[in-house]
Each structure stands twice: as structure tokens, then as C-alpha cells.
Amino acid sequence: MTMIAILTKWLPATGTKPTRIKAYTNDSPQHSITISEPKDISADIDKHRHAAETLQRLYSWDKTLGLVGGSNGSEGYVFVQVPYVDTSKFLTGGR
């Protein structure tokens, strides 16, 4: 399984375009998508996750994988695909 890192960055509004978020990969060929900043999502990381998930769906990458991520320390976030985990046993104390 190839692991794909998805990076995101915030793009400021211009005279003709609203505030946007770009999600992209650094692999070759580079994959990218730019979306308008979601106004119905309040947390920055969730806005960036939405952009990363949109890119993941656009290229039909493995649907059995979820995304985890965090700040990359400069201008955006980085997300990696990981297998989904059934967390119900953790939430109930494993019973």
C-alpha cells in the first residue's frame, strides 16, 4: 500500500477570488484541488481536513483509509491516510 501525504494551505482572497484552501501532494505527478473556504465549518483543521478529503475522493484513493493530520508548523496542515480503527471498544472500556 502506498502512503500518500496530503498537504493543505490557506490562500487569501484576491480581487476576483474568495478565500480558498489548496490540498495537494508532493508526489509525481502532483495531485491538487483548490476549494472555497467552507463557511459552515468553524475549526481551521476541519476546513483543511475537508479539502484533503475532497482530494482523496476526487482521485478515488483507497476508501478503507481515513485521514489523520495536524499543523505542519508553517502555512497549513499535513494529512496521511491510515486504516480505520473500530474505536467502540476504547470508548466502552473494552467490554
Give the number of other CB atoms < 10 A from CB of residue 47: 20
CB 47 within 8 A of CB 71: no
Given pLDDT bands bounded at 50, 70 and 90, which one contains residue 74? confident
Hey, where are the domains in the chain?
5-91
- In angstroms, the CA 27 to CA 45 distance is 22
What pLDDT does 86 receive?
A: 65
Phi then psi for residue 48, to 5 deg, are -70, -40
* Per-residue pLDDT tens digits for 46-63: 999 999 999 988 887 777
